[in-house]
Structure 1
Amino acid sequence: MNQLANVRKMTADDLEAVHRIECSSFPNPWTKEAFMHELFENQYAHYFVIEMEEEIVGYCGLWVVFDDAQITNIAVLPTYRGQKLGETLLSYVMRFAKECEASQMTLEVRVSNLVAQALYKKLGFKEIGIRKNYYSDNQEDALLMWVNLHE
């Protein structure tokens, strides 16, 4: 784990920072309203931020439904990438999902995002399928990945 990083639950006060990260990371970013819905209306949603020196530099969201966890989104500010913050954040979220009694976790990643795929494989995720034309900005396929949280 990155010793200078702190992971904690996301709050409404984090919305501006998280939305900035979202907009800097994705061609079709979620709206602030979508994050508010996740935080306050979706009983299955859990969101976390990672801070460096009290600055929010990344976030991750997941849904836990019974024994199944699904990563909804994960991103780190471009200037902080390559410092293992994504790994620290995702490892934390995986432990949280296990504590919620999830036995497996899934996520989708662009087939072109080899850096993210390498991280997911490092943490035990395996490729299990393709979602054709998944991304609306360019109809790129998504690679569906899965991990058994009890291995």
Structure 2
Amino acid sequence: MIDPEYDTFKPEYKEAFEHLNIAWLDEFFVVEAYDRKVLGNPQEFIIDKQGHILIAKIDNRVVGTVALMKIDEAEYELTKMAIDKAYRGQKIGQKLLTFALSFAKENLITSLILYSNRTLENAIYIYGKFGFEEVPLETNTPYNRADIKMKLNL
């Protein structure tokens, strides 16, 4: 099992962040207009709004991403999590999620929400394993594909 190195967003990661997420969305769903907007300009839509993008690298190659998008002072959305298809099945997603939760605590984030889809049974199971619990899904979610919302108090 390979342990990735972790980093926070730098401009040189923009292309990999966009590519990995679009590839994942194309594989499982469809890339929505909101996705294109955020993925095409993560600096403006995530970083400049006091959010964070975390990167997993193996041999200096970006193999995973996850973003923490600020909702308010204490709550963030865990989003844009994608793992390079060639590296799936090696628990890199779980390791990146562990890193993201530690990073969130260190940055005084007290709760995380996420939107997902019930067809992603493995992902939902893993989120549950990490302590996320289902909460009511509002009708005006940012994603058409979302049919479940989960929350974790840190």
- Band of TM-score, shorter chain: 0.7 to 0.9
Query: Is the 8 Å Cα contact of residues 133 and 140 (structure 1) preserved in structure 2?
Result: no
1:71 aligns with 2:75: no
- Which residue does 2:14 correspond to in 1? 15
Instruction: Please report how far the alpha carbon of residue 142 of structure 1 lies from its aligned counterpart in structure 2 after TM superposition.
Output: 2.2
Contact 2:68 2:79 survives alignment (8 Å): yes
Change (3 A) 1:135 1:82: farther
1:57-94 per-residue CA deviation (whole Å, 9 max, x = no partner) reads 11010124322121132111122111111111111111
Structure 2 counterpart SS, 1:8: strand
1: distance between equivalents of 2:116 and 2:7? 24
Match of 1:61 in 2: 67
Structure 1 82/99 Cα, relative in aligned 2: closer, same or farther at 3 Å? Answer: same
Structure 2: 5+ residue runs without aligned partners?
none
Aligned-partner residue type, residue 148 of structure 2 = L
Count residues in correspondence: 145
The normalised TM-score by structure 2 is: 0.82
User: Could you tell me whether the CA contact under 8 Å between 2:133 and 2:152 is conserved in 1?
Assistant: yes
8 Å CA contact 1:18–1:59 kept in 2: the answer is: yes
Q: CA deviation at 1:131?
A: 4.5
Residue 52 and residue 99 in structure 1: after superposition, are their counterparts in 2 closer, same or farther (change >3 A)? same
Partner of 1:51: 57
Aligned equivalent of 2:147:
142
CA RMSD of aligned residues (A): 2.2
Q: How is 1:21-36 mapped onto 2 (pairs within 5 angstroms)?
A: 21-26=20-25, 27-28=30-31, 29-31=35-37, 32-36=39-43
SS at match of 2:36: coil
Correspondence for 1:111: 118
Please point out which of 122, 128, 131 is paired with 1:121.
128
Q: Give the match for residue 6 of structure 1.
A: 5
Q: 1:85 to 1:122 in 2, by over 3 A?
A: same
Candidates 101, 109, 117, aligned match of 1:94: 101
**Structure with the higher helix share, 1 or 2:** 2
The structure whose residues are more often strand, as a share, is: 1
Q: TM-score, normalised by structure 1?
A: 0.84
Contact residue 64 and residue 82 of structure 2 kept, 8 A: yes
